[in-house]
Structure 1
Amino acid sequence: MGLSRKNVLMLLHERTEKYADKVALGMKTQYGWKELTYRGVGLLSRKLAHYLLTVLNVKKGDRLAILSESKPEYGACVFASVISGMITVPLDIKLTKYELKSILSDCEPSVMIASKAYLEMAKFLQNEIPSIRQILVIDEPSHNVDVTSIYQLPDNYECKWSLRSSKSTAFIIYTSGTTGAPKGVEITFQNMMAQLDDLKIALDKILPYEHVNILSILPMNHLFEMTVGFSTFLNFGFSVYYTPSLKPKDVLSIMREKQVEFMIVVPAFLKLLKTGIEAELNNSPKTVKAAFNIMFKLAKFIPSYRIKKLMFKKIHAKFGGHFSGCISGGAPLDVAVGEFFERIGIKVYQGYGLSEASPVVSVNVDRRGDIASVGRPLSTFQAKIDKETGELILKGPSVMKGYHNHPEITRDVIDEDGWLHTGDIAKISKEGHIYITGRIKNMIVLSGGKKVFPEEVEAVLEKSPYFSEVCVLGVSKTFGVKDGAEEITAVIVPSQDIYEKYDWHTVEKLIKNEVKKLSLQLTAYKRPINIIVRKEPLPRTTTRKVKRREVKEFVNA
């Protein structure tokens, strides 16, 4: 029976039975490893579901909000929410209490589960949001916590599983929003099952193993993590390990200890690892650097990843010796970063998606040689380019139900024929491969009517080792530019190395010269007219997307 013909409850029961004694979820703590087997996840989720149904008397469609770091118990809470018929609302722990209050006022949860680290925040929110009847703590009980832990609930695992329609809402995922207040994306059970079906087909091509150890570095409120890093990998029967620290040395330590083979990452993490490897090489003897450079050039012509792993075995040893590759998503991947890892024998599969599509639309599983492509659409998606705007539009069972409490905004992005308007400018090759080239709302319109997408300019500038961050904008001049047309402006944050070597005047001069030099790779009208060097990091959302509106305010100040 195909996944699409099953429901989530059947799938949950089957996996906890089939892989009962295998580690499902684990996390490194100061006391060692905390691990839950598939059976353990099933028991804890049923115990919590029994309490929700019989003691709190939750009803179908009630909301369960979770405010916690990623940890093994998080998954059990998600499954308990499904069993009891509730809608799960994963919250972003990096948001302020006022932002969280706005979200909870919108979704009105009846129960909130929080980690010890965010318990005081949860108590504040309970006082502000009348709908929250009870808070539970996700961690094991301790003497200094006065709120009931999910581990302290009665050991009763019998409960009537609450069956739901495939079209009913399973999750409300609040987008981080680069230009405004967060919107709650309603993801249905049909959406989730379509994703599991599609991702099983796609990932079978690159993970044809009985068992794989996965390292998770993304938060569970990120739908990419919830769908792929959590739901899909548990569907495969893999073991998923969480890290409390994103410092490269801590991540690499866990990769070695747990013999991690695969990861879900964002491009910024890959760039951080690449920078670390290069910094170590730069501090190595000249003979070591020379040997690496020769092998790196040769690797371009070697298709075998096994041979490349042998060539760069010292680097692979730092990753534990078992790491084969990763899926990169959440933001565009710098081609140079992807090619670096491919050269040293680590496969990088660029994916594309958006929360409104549950979220994965494509993964480049069959064309790694072309890093710029995000692959073909997953099997249940239809994809095409709007002829008038160049926008990528999508249709399929993974398209969201809509924005919670916002039918009018929903109609703006899902048309009457069911096509989801992504807001992304793209091209589709004859073979069906998608190439994302920019965002409609970021487009810069020049005085002659020519249009420039900042992403393509940023891709060129980001190649410089002198730049830590790059943001390209269209900024109107106060004089000389007609009809509200804009000039291309580059805002650059220098790398730490440059700060340490030179005074600020020299840094500014060096950065501006570097921008001008790199810009020669671009058509003349796409080159930045204004170059602004900024000391502070660029403002970003919690998912690391640049807040372009705030950068523009900084430029115009």
Structure 2
Amino acid sequence: MASIPADSLALQRLYHWERTAADRVILTQPLGATGGGELQTFTWAQVADQVRRMAAHLQAQGWEPGSRVAILSKNCAWWLMSDLAIWMAGYVSVPLYPTLAPDTIRQILTHSEAKACFIGKLDGWAGMKPGVPAGLPCISYKLSPDDAKNAYEGWDAICARTQPLGGEPLRGADELATLIYTSGTTGAPKGVMHSFANFAWALTAAIGRVPMGADDRLLSYLPLAHVVERVLVEHGWLRAGFSVYFADSLDTFAADLQRCRPTIFFSVPRLWVKFQQGVLHKMPQAKLDKLLRLPLIGGLVRRKIMKALGLDQCRVAAGGAAPMPVALLDWYRRLGLAVNEGYGMTENLAISHITIPGKNQTGTVGPAYDGVQTRIDPVSGELQMKSPAVMQGYFKEPELTRDAFTEDGWLRTGDKAALDASGCLRITGRVKDLFKTSKGKYVAPAPIEDKLMLHSAVEACVVTGANMGQPVGIVMLSADGIVASQDPAQREQLSAELNAHLKSINAHLDPHEQMDCLVAVKTPWTVDNGFITPTFKVKRNRVEEIYGPQLEGWVEQRKKVVFGD
């Protein structure tokens, strides 16, 4: 492990700002409809005081040092304070995505052996609540659903009756800080173990490539349970001391962005596309092209568009979690906004590669961060890497941990890659079947395919959709299914059955796993036409090669069941 300066660790950073910038406002939280649209701000002194009070409360529960405490909430000021309180009390935080299905919530809370859970700002609490084990102590926030606030003691009440923890309690650099659960190839979430030193080194590497300072502003809206938001926003905030603004909802996102006017802005490709679509809805591409070619008018148009997006103060823009289309990057560059593309994974705290600001490295994810070692396996083409930000392993999963590394200790990324002449990396595919949607979420297709196969009209299937908004199920109809699809009356009945089958499966999947539609194809998949191996396994790559170009068109039909060839 690389030498980590003690003053770069998370809690030490909090104490530093508490001492040196106590009165600086650093969190701006919209209170939504329940707060009459008002804002609540927090200074470093207020953050530290509330963290100390909550840490004292948690410590008073008498749990073993290193016990796990979960956070189930959308992004908000209390999310960050909960994380810090958990650490100050001597425990390990377990963030959960605020959109998980109840079965996944229960699985994570049980597997992590969580002693308690903060239940915060949530849109679908009624559906999630069954996933919280009966009797698990929970704490609500000011922005929690009313049902949660009625059931659990609130943050403010606990802080009001609890004296703050004194001194500057410290955690060791190599102590476990958090478990970040990510889907594995089996579909079961794996708890990625990261230490305080992992985060500290990751921030040093990140700031070396993308400088951050106390004068910067960031909008927090991607889930803090996601590794990029956790590193960039939470730990960037602690290291650099910049101001964090929180988004209230999808409906207010544009206004939230205008309020913040971020100087650093990260998003997934899907949102960058939505921004583009919003601009082109008001100004068709042909007209935009014409105006941009005019010397003076072009500059005015660029500034007006950036101001309308809330990005006129943005000095560093970045995309990641899934590949950014080259044409999209070029479109933004013409508007004067260079979007840097990054690459990483939960297992290395997303600190792997990123394009260098000011350089046109479009089509790649740039060179490795300083201190990151990489190599490409000559046989599989897999990118493998080492750095002090690489995980300690998977919680309670020694075999999976061993599988994640080569015999000589390099992390297996599972991504195929190639280096260009300038040392920039190009991601060319996946070594295994796990794929990412355009929202940056991993989807393990095998468990979903197992469910699809339960319908009698389905003989074989593949769930695909890398870089699309949602997965798509391609099902090869059985002989009886093919016959039914050719008769209008039977076809209508088959469509209704497959629609119900899809709905039933989606109901038990997390939002990012839910399929947009089922495409029922009649062409048999055989050994002769290359769809099936001699041992009768479906060749996923072949299916994606043949049907991939048609996927977007099928999805655009907006039908739950589409009949293909």
Q: Same fold (TM over 0.5)?
A: yes
> What residue is the counterpart of 1:313 in the other structure?
303
How far off is 1:470 after superposition? Answer: 12
Offset from partner CA, 1:262-284 (integer Å, 9 cap, x none): 212111110111111111113xx
Offset from partner CA, 1:177-202 (integer Å, 9 cap, x none): 57511111111112111111111211
After TM superposition, the structure 1 = structure 2 runs for residues 1-40 of structure 1, keeping only pairs within 5 Å, are 4-6=5-7, 7-28=9-30, 29-30=32-33, 31=36, 32-40=38-46
DSSP-derived class of the 2:265 partner:
strand
Offset from partner CA, 1:148-178 (integer Å, 9 cap, x none): 1111122411346554332221111111457
DSSP-derived class of the 2:352 partner:
strand
Distance 1:253 1:125 in 2: 33
Offset from partner CA, 1:65-117 (integer Å, 9 cap, x none): 01111001110001001111111000112111111111111101111110264
Distance 2:270 2:412 in 1: 26
Give the aligned residue type for 1:106: H
Distance 1:362 1:277 in 2: 30
Gaps of 5+ in 1: 283-288, 300-305, 445-453, 459-468, 492-525, 540-550
Structure 1 position 88 matched with structure 2 position 97:
no
Report the TM-score, using the length of structure 1 for normalisation.
0.75
Structure 1 position 228 matched with structure 2 position 232:
yes
Distance 1:434 1:470 in 2: 34
Structure 1 position 339 matched with structure 2 position 344:
no
Question: Which of 534, 537, 540 does residue 554 from structure 2 map onto?
Answer: 534
Residue pair 1:477, 1:486 contacting (<8 A) in 2 also = no
Seen in structure 2, the aligned counterparts of structure 1 residues 408 and 529 have a Cα distance that, compared at 3 Å, is closer
> What residue is the counterpart of 1:509 in the other structure?
none
Question: Which of 55, 70, 77 does residue 75 from structure 2 map onto?
Answer: 70
Distance 1:428 1:364 in 2: 13
Distance 2:259 2:11 in 1: 33
Structure 1 position 148 matched with structure 2 position 153:
yes
Distance 2:50 2:293 in 1: 52
Distance 2:50 2:313 in 1: 31
Distance 1:4 1:537 in 2: 56
Seen in structure 2, the aligned counterparts of structure 1 residues 274 and 428 have a Cα distance that, compared at 3 Å, is same
Distance 1:257 1:554 in 2: 43
Distance 1:11 1:354 in 2: 25
DSSP-derived class of the 1:327 partner:
strand
Give the aligned residue type for 1:319: L
Distance 2:291 2:543 in 1: 35
Give the aligned residue type for 1:222: H
Distance 1:430 1:538 in 2: 43
> What residue is the counterpart of 1:182 in the other structure?
189
Q: Which moved more, 1:254-263 or 1:413-422?
A: 254-263
DSSP-derived class of the 1:441 partner:
coil
Question: Which of 159, 170, 173 does residue 177 from structure 2 map onto?
Answer: 170
DSSP-derived class of the 2:223 partner:
coil
How far off is 1:438 after superposition? Answer: 1.0
Question: Which of 387, 406, 423 does residue 414 from structure 2 map onto?
Answer: 423
Seen in structure 2, the aligned counterparts of structure 1 residues 476 and 357 have a Cα distance that, compared at 3 Å, is farther
Q: After TM superposition, where is structure 1 displaced by more than 6 Å over at least 4 residues in a row?
A: 140-144, 454-458, 469-472, 487-491, 536-539, 553-557
Seen in structure 2, the aligned counterparts of structure 1 residues 147 and 455 have a Cα distance that, compared at 3 Å, is closer
Structure 1 position 369 matched with structure 2 position 360:
yes
Question: Which of 241, 259, 262 does residue 261 from structure 2 map onto?
Answer: 259
Offset from partner CA, 1:277-311 (integer Å, 9 cap, x none): 111113xxxxxx65521344579xxxxxx997645
Seen in structure 2, the aligned counterparts of structure 1 residues 19 and 377 have a Cα distance that, compared at 3 Å, is farther
> What residue is the counterpart of 1:494 in the other structure?
none
Seen in structure 2, the aligned counterparts of structure 1 residues 58 and 556 have a Cα distance that, compared at 3 Å, is farther
Give the aligned residue type for 1:195: A
Residue pair 2:10, 2:200 contacting (<8 A) in 1 also = yes
Residue pair 1:16, 1:39 contacting (<8 A) in 2 also = yes
Offset from partner CA, 1:286-339 (integer Å, 9 cap, x none): xxx65521344579xxxxxx9976451221221343234422111111111111
Residue pair 1:58, 1:84 contacting (<8 A) in 2 also = no
Give the aligned residue type for 2:333: E
DSSP-derived class of the 2:362 partner:
coil
> What residue is the counterpart of 2:384 in the other structure?
393
Residue pair 2:210, 2:357 contacting (<8 A) in 1 also = no
Structure 1 position 197 matched with structure 2 position 204:
yes
Give the aligned residue type for 2:529: V
> What residue is the counterpart of 2:425 in the other structure?
434
Seen in structure 2, the aligned counterparts of structure 1 residues 261 and 434 have a Cα distance that, compared at 3 Å, is same
After TM superposition, the structure 1 = structure 2 runs for residues 124-135 of structure 1, keeping only pairs within 5 Å, are 124-128=130-134, 132=136, 134-135=137-138
Structure 1 position 356 matched with structure 2 position 347:
yes
**Aligned-residue identity in percent:** 26
After TM superposition, the structure 1 = structure 2 runs for residues 76-115 of structure 1, keeping only pairs within 5 Å, are 76-115=81-120
Residue pair 2:258, 2:309 contacting (<8 A) in 1 also = yes
How far off is 1:341 after superposition? Answer: 1.1
Q: Which moved more, 1:216-225 or 1:313-322?
A: 313-322
Structure 1 position 211 matched with structure 2 position 215:
yes
Offset from partner CA, 1:346-397 (integer Å, 9 cap, x none): 2211111000112221221246412212122122211111111111100111
Give the aligned residue type for 1:313: R
Question: Which of 165, 171, 182 does residue 158 from structure 1 map onto?
Answer: 165
Distance 1:432 1:21 in 2: 45
Residue pair 1:351, 1:374 contacting (<8 A) in 2 also = yes
Give the aligned residue type for 1:312: R
Distance 2:118 2:170 in 1: 22
Q: Which moved more, 1:25-34 or 1:410-419?
A: 25-34
How far off is 1:527 after superposition? Answer: 6.7
Structure 1 position 57 matched with structure 2 position 76:
no
Residue pair 1:229, 1:264 contacting (<8 A) in 2 also = no
DSSP-derived class of the 1:269 partner:
helix
Offset from partner CA, 1:377-433 (integer Å, 9 cap, x none): 122211111111111100111110111111101111112322001011111234332
Give the aligned residue type for 1:75: L
Distance 1:337 1:367 in 2: 17
> What residue is the counterpart of 2:52 in the other structure?
46
Q: Which moved more, 1:365-374 or 1:74-83?
A: 365-374
Give the aligned residue type for 2:85: A
Gaps of 5+ in 2: 436-463, 469-515
Seen in structure 2, the aligned counterparts of structure 1 residues 222 and 309 have a Cα distance that, compared at 3 Å, is farther
Offset from partner CA, 1:443-485 (integer Å, 9 cap, x none): 99xxxxxxxxx99999xxxxxxxxxx9999xx98235235618
Seen in structure 2, the aligned counterparts of structure 1 residues 185 and 457 have a Cα distance that, compared at 3 Å, is closer
Seen in structure 2, the aligned counterparts of structure 1 residues 361 and 457 have a Cα distance that, compared at 3 Å, is closer
> What residue is the counterpart of 1:500 in the other structure?
none
Report the TM-score, using the length of structure 2 for normalisation.
0.74
How far off is 1:126 after superposition? Answer: 4.6
